[in-house]
Amino acid sequence: MKILLMGHPNVGKSVFFNRLTGANVTESNYPGTTVDYTKGWMKIEGEDVEIVDVPGTFSLDPKDKAEEVAVAMLHESRDAKVIAVIDASKIERGLYLAMEIIEEGYPIVIALNMRDVAEDKNIVIDADRLERILGIPVVSTVAIAGEGIKELVSRLKEAKPVNVDDIIANAANTSDTESAADAGGAA
Amino acid sequence: MKLSTGERWDLIDKISKETVTFGAYKHTLKDAIGELTVKPMTGIPVAIAIMYGFWSVFGSFAGFFTDGFFVRLFDAYWLPWLQEVFPGQGGWIYAIMVDAGGIESGEFVLSSNCLESFGVLTSGLFVAIGVVLPAIIIFYLMLALLEDIGYMPRLAVLLDTVLHRVGLHGYAIVPTILSLGCNVPGVTATRILETKKQRFIMMTLLAIFIPCGAQIGIMQDVVPDLMGWILLYLIIGYFVFGYILNKIVPGKAPEFLIDVPPYRRPLLSNIGKKVGGRVKGFFVVAIPFVLLGCAIVGVLYQLGVIRFLGDALAPVFVGWFGVPKETAGPLIAAFLRKDLAVAQLSAITMTPYQMITAVVLVSIYFPCVATFAMMLKEGWKELLGALAVLSVVVFTYGGLIHLIGILLGVA
């Protein structure tokens, strides 16, 4: 099995990579630290799994050479699963890339990283609900502190391709039931 | 199924409305510091203070270990001991490995220090371990701190306007600063620039004008008084030739958008790992090259090749650049390691201005072999282009520096 770590620049992909594989790729606090991919191995339930630290990219429409490397890596690995790493304090942009990857049919799990930074900014994310809407595992993490990494690994097997129509339907449904509940409460 | 960009954003909007609540945003101390270091009025003084601090710590740390410890160890114990026990004094193996010595009033005399001896086991080890190792340890330690705190993107914002003049943008400071450690990761980091034009300009400027940490370390040790002039010539060259390249290289130099990350407290473990990894890289890659470079130059001296080259190129060296013809030897070593080349220059007798010119020439004349290989990996067309620019730069700029010296009456 092969797993790609993908996400925007400076969201912590390399930190995940090092925690997962015990490797030693450079981690820094600036976008563009990783400009080439690194491969590593880990064992999940007895199976050897290849993990790839992919350079950060904003979308699947590359605008520099590092992003080209990222998109090429994704397209070369048709049978891979993806861990989409999202900066929880900038969730919408992260979801944009995740949606693009979902639309291409890749099985995916989402790591909502830097939960601590989001909390500092008073941003609260209902991860369970996000998970129900998207139909894929969503795990809150603080990768530099190692929080949530185990849960992420244990839920990798639940990664599956999802139909975009289902997501659209789920998004519409929850907002219906929600507004219905609100209406009921008001009455 | 694939969505259009608009549909995708609509869906995400809907999802985030359902799942995310944005509370009131509080302006924190972190934000305040963040703003102070980005706004030009306060940011520029802070940047100058940080650079000055960087430089002072670098100089005193490297000086403390090199002058206070390694110079004594190598010159007072290691060199005399090897001169004593190594067999075949005066022979060519002895000259290459330990001490080439010198001829004084017709007699062979041994060198008195590790910079003059030119031996693989003396000069080679002294330069690699005694001078360069302390310099790169402290350099990488401070670089890692700046990286992990999150200062680099702020420096990028501050320098954006200036770097646009040379066809780049603020983020070009990242490859530039990484190159001050070692040009190799600097060349790789050019991938974060958007267009071919920017990558070409950046790579060329790095290869020519940015001295690596090893080279700065040895300069700090052997020509501390001349550092200011040498760096000034390199910085001026970076901007002048960047300006010219921007005018003549076709292509676009777009604006950049950047997420300035929040300041973070650096993790000691990460700093340790990064510095450890880079220093290990130095041991594995650089030290063999220093020793190899020492050996090759030693052999070429013994075979008379360097004397021959020096004599053949004397009109260029003496006439055009205004440096002694013996500079030919260090320039050959510079292809393997620039730090070694500077060390060898320091053993040649010349005036301070000649030394400035020679060190600048060693810096700009050719990228070291590791950088060369990395540039080749990024694209042979760019490499050829960069080498063409380099040849022009070496001759015009080298000659210009000589001319400035003549006009100032110091050359």
Residue A40 sits at φ, ψ, to 5 deg, of -150, 170
Minimum-distance CB partner of A129 among B11, B18, B266 = B18
Tens digit of each residue's pLDDT (9 = 90 or more) over B386-402: 999 999 999 999 999 99
Structure confidence at residue B29 (pLDDT): 83
Q: Is B22 helix (H, G, I), strand (E, B) or coil?
A: strand
CA distance A70 to chain B (A): 12
Tell me, yes or no, whether B9 lies in a domain.
no
Q: Are A86 and A100 in contact (CB under 8 A)?
A: no
**B328-336 and B287-303 are packed helices; what angle lies between their axes, rounded to 10 degrees?**
150
A167 belongs to a structural domain: no
Using the Cβ of A77 and the Cβ atoms of chain B, whether some distance falls under 8 Å is answered with: no
Displacement of CA B258 from its chain's centroid (Å): 26
* Residues of A with Cβ-Cβ distance to B187 under 8 angstroms: none
Facing A122 at nearest CB: one of B2, B25, B189:
B25
Is residue B239 one of the residues assigned to a domain? yes
- String of DSSP letters for B55-102: HHHHHHHHHHHIIIIIHHIIIIIIHHHHHHHSSSTTSHHHHHHTB--E
The structure tokens listed for A123 are: 């941003």
Across the interface, whether the CB atoms of B20 and A126 are under 8 A apart is answered yes
Question: How far apart (Å, rounded) are the C-alpha atoms in residues B201 and A16?
Answer: 34
Task: Name the pLDDT band for B342 (thresholds 50, 70, 90).
Answer: very high
Residue (of B357, B361, B333) closest to B405 by Cα position: B357
Are A164 and B3 in contact, with CB atoms under 8 Å apart? yes
Q: What are phi and psi of B197, to 5 degrees?
A: -60, -50
Residue B393 has a pLDDT of: 95
- Is 50 exceeded by the pLDDT of residue B275? yes
Whether A185 is in a domain gets the answer no
Q: Which of B15, B261, B267 comes nearest A95 by C-beta?
A: B15
pLDDT at A179 over 70: no
The amino acid at residue B362 is: V
Tell me whether B273 touches chain A (CB under 8 Å): yes
Cβ pair A178:B18 closer than 8 A: yes
**Could you tell me what percent of chain B has a pLDDT over 90?**
57
Mean pLDDT for all residues in chain B: 90
pLDDT in tens, A14-66: 999 999 998 888 888 888 888 888 999 998 888 999 999 999 999 999 989 99
Interface test with B, best of A28, A73, A119 (most B CBs within 10 A): A28
CATH value at residue A77 = 3.40.50.300
Q: Report yes or no on A172 lying in a domain.
A: no
> Å from B371 to nearest chain A CA?
17
Q: Which chain B residues are closer than 8 Å to A31 by Cβ?
A: 153, 192, 258-259, 261
Return d(Cα B62, Cα A137) in angstroms, integer: 51
CA gap B62, B132 in Å, rounded? 8
Number of C-beta neighbours around residue B258 at 10 A: 18
For B121, how many CA atoms within 13 A lie in the half-sphere containing its CB?
Answer: 15
Model pLDDT, residue A175: 59
Chain A residues within 8 A of B3 when measuring between CB atoms: 99, 103, 164
Cβ-Cβ contacts under 8 Å, A164 against chain B:
1-3
Number of domains in chain B: 1
Residue pair A17/A38 in contact (Cβ under 8 Å)? The answer is yes
ipTM: 0.88
Chain B contacts of A144, Cβ < 8 Å? 267, 270
Instruction: HSE, CB side, 13 Å, CA atoms: give it for residue B83.
Output: 19
Is A89 a domain residue?
yes
Do residue A28 and residue B147 have CB atoms under 8 angstroms apart? yes
pLDDT band at A187, cuts 50/70/90?
Answer: very low
Domain tally, chain A: 1
Q: Are A59 and A100 contacting, i.e. CB atoms less than 8 angstroms apart? A: yes
Q: Which chain A residues are closer than 8 Å to B174 by Cβ?
A: 30, 32
Q: Do the Cβ atoms of A148 and A140 come closer than 8 Å?
A: yes
- B359 is written with which tokens? 């060190």
Residues in Cβ contact with B63 at an 8 Å cutoff, skipping those fewer than 6 apart: B220, B221
Whether B16 is covered by a domain: the verdict is: no
Beta-carbon contacts of B52 under 8 Å, excluding residues fewer than 6 positions away, are: none
- Give residue B71's pLDDT band: very low, low, confident or very high (50, 70, 90): very high
B271, part of any domain:
no
CA atoms of A6 and A60, how far apart (whole Å): 11
DSSP assignment letter at B9:
H
Asked whether the beta carbons of A36 and A30 are under 8 A apart, the reply is no
Contact flag A35-B191 (C-beta cutoff 8 Å): yes
A83-123 residue pLDDT tens: 999 999 999 999 999 999 999 999 999 999 999 889 888 99
* From B149-153, B205-209, B285-289, B373-377, the region with the lowest mean pLDDT: B285-289
- CA gap A136, A117 in Å, rounded: 23
Of all residues in chain B, the one with the smallest CA distance to A61 is B5
The full DSSP string for chain A is -EEEEEESTTSSHHHHHHHHH-------SSTTS--S-EEEEEEETTEEEEEEEPPP-SSSS--SHHHHHHHHHHHH-TT-EEEEEEEGGGHHHHHHHHHHHHHTT--EEEEEE-HHHHHHTTEEE-HHHHHHHHTS-EEE-BGGGTBTHHHHHHTGGG-B---HHHHHHHHHHHHHHHHHHHHHHH-
HSE-up of B201 (CA within 13 Å, CB side)? Answer: 31
Residue among B3, B13, B147 whose CB faces A30 most closely:
B147
Residue A155 lies in a domain: yes
Is residue A184 a part of any domain in this protein? no
Average pLDDT of the residues in B157-172: 92
Query: Hey, are the CB atoms on B18 and A69 less than 8 Å from each other?
Result: no
User: What is the spatial distance between Cα B237 and Cα B395, in angstroms, rounded to a whole number?
Assistant: 13
* Cβ pair B213, B135 in contact under 8 A: yes
**Cβ contact (<8 Å) for A69 and B25?**
no
Cβ contact B119:B294 at 8 Å:
yes
Q: Could you list the residue range(s) of the whole structural domain that residue B306 is in?
A: 28-258+288-408
Selected residues 170-229 of chain B with any CB under 8 Å from a CB in chain A? 171, 174, 188-194, 199
Boundaries of domain holding A157? 2-162
> Least CB-CB distance to A29: which of B14, B149, B192?
B149
pLDDT at A183 over 70: no
Is there a domain that residue A175 lies in?
no
Residue among B409, B264, B129 at smallest CA distance from A30: B264
Inter-chain CB proximity B258 and A31 less than 8 Å: yes
Tell me which residue in B20, B188, B258 faces A125 most closely, judged by beta carbons. B20
